[in-house]
A and B are shown apart, each in its own frame.
Chain A
């Protein structure tokens, strides 16, 4: 789950990290009211779940209230990489002497937490990594032992931050690690972390991704789930608890298991088609789940055919077949369905489906032939 910048800053502030005073606004009038409360100059910043805001004109400095009105008018409704700006963050403008970069994430290869610190902030870290890898100081933190102050000091020294920034950085980095671990984050990133002309280290941006598996111990994370960017189809699937990713094509895909669902999307592409979605209905395939999945797919106007790809492991073929038939009675499906059913008791399942086959419900023996049929029907 990605947080908006303002949510990230509020999250960081809970851990005592210095962020600028500010408030989120959903309209121009609200933005103006916030700016009047804070006092100008302020920054007007688009809140979207994507990078490149500055380049797209989504981050502006406003010296006075007229400028706030002008920028908020331009930024609200702006399309940044396909994300429409619906909210802006207004915060007190900061004077910047230097810009740094700091982050923690899980290094899947090392199986430890990875901290990255650079005195070249304000640009994408991937760019720094490519052009000047020596400018990034890395630290691998064992989750059992945690991050000591001593190790943090060595890390800051390795990044060659100026003396004036050392104490403030050590303090912020330790708090950042606490926020990262206690908050069950996949990623915390401050870019830029700034040094002001007065010698204060300050958090000027916040990027936070939370681990959605950790919500059982963070009840307040539900509020963030509601602000995730999802299209209508994804929202409907999410409400039914289905693992769904919207794609651009015309073949609706339903499969059991994440790997098989991914593989089904691949095979539809390989035979010249274009999948409308990724949908994993999980290990079982009972009528309730199947009906929910078919409903979500059927509501997608782009879908011209549906490919149901089921491999029965523990789930038996006859249960799957009955589930599909029952689901089809509950939901009226417009697009023709092609089924591939394999695995445990596949013969029994196919026998149940056989008398019900027609030009709206077809069956194929293999994953490949079923994909070909579904693609043919969609074209």
Chain B
């Protein structure tokens, strides 16, 4: 099994007609993802490499029965795209776009929570989600992941997510689902959401969690692991040596007022029984040890 998406997930792409959308939409389709439609208000009736374009998300759902969407709309239009998808009844929204204002993210996160509690949002500013061998939504290179299990991955960083998948593949370890939650201040899906889903997924036997400096999401995840996870977890936190007050690439990756340091996060995770590596390679090795002992 896998979490959130599998081989039955039908996905539409908001922004499929754009350069990013058509490129990654095409790659996702080639991977085997059910890419069933794209949307564009003025290009309905056309197609992108055989994928039909509908005028709206609602029309695309009517035509295809899609339950998921992947958003490649430029930042100013993301709030509108997320709300359109939720109102049309989409259950799983993946927003890849980076550069979305934090106030927009806070707005649609709360709007979804209040009015569309059954809709899950992943991102924005995330690489997407892959259940290897079944479904790949977003910008992850599918072939760097080995299908099967027993490991689930959840990560705040794109390239480190790939690094984690690759480390495991080198060791011939399979992955049930790999979720990139993104590095923005208000991610739609949190570490805890993913940990909870992995804990409930019978095929996931262990979880690898990649965090970074800033905020307190890793500390909250550690608290959750301590009290609710029976499955072993390995982890790596990027930004051990990041200077305070400087944003390290991601809007959310900043140590401010002495809060959000890597050291505090690693300590909280170790205290929760998580095996914490000093670098991605070590975290992969720790996961290999865990898998060998399962």
Contact = CB atoms under 8 A, between A and B. Distances in A.
Is the pairing of A and B real?
yes
Interface of A: 106, 108-109, 111-113, 126, 142-144, 181, 184, 186, 211, 213-214, 216-217, 243, 245, 247, 255-263, 265-267, 269-270, 275, 278, 280, 283, 311-314, 342-344, 366-368
Interface string B204-242: 000000101101110010000000000000001011111
Interface residues of B, number: 62
A260 B163 contact: yes
A314 B157 contact: no
A122 to B, nearest CB: 18
A278 B278 contact: no
Interface stretch (B55-63, B101-109, B267-275, B286-294): B101-109
Contacts of B248: 245, 258, 261-262, 278
A260 B75 CA distance: 24
Interface of B: 24, 27, 75-76, 99-103, 106-107, 109-111, 114, 127, 139-141, 143-144, 155-163, 166, 183, 185-186, 210, 212-213, 215-217, 220, 236, 238-243, 246-253, 257, 262, 278-281
B238 A245 contact: no
Which of A262, A314, A342 gathers the greatest number of chain B CB atoms within 10 Å? A262
B278 A366 contact: no
Nearest to B282: A368
Given A106-B185, A278-B249, A311-B166, A270 B159 contact: no
B100 A213 contact: yes
A359 to B, nearest CB: 27
Contacts of B76: 216-217
Contacts of B162: 311, 313, 343
Nearest to B248: A262
Main secondary structure of the interface of A (DSSP, over half): mixed
B217 A313 contact: no
Contact of B106 (A113, A214, A313): A113
A267 B262 CA distance: 14
Given A257-B158, A259-B158, A344-B144, A213 B75 contact: yes
Instruction: Name which of A144, A181, A216 has the most chain B CB atoms within 10 A of its CB.
Output: A144
A303 B177 CA distance: 41
B239 A266 contact: yes
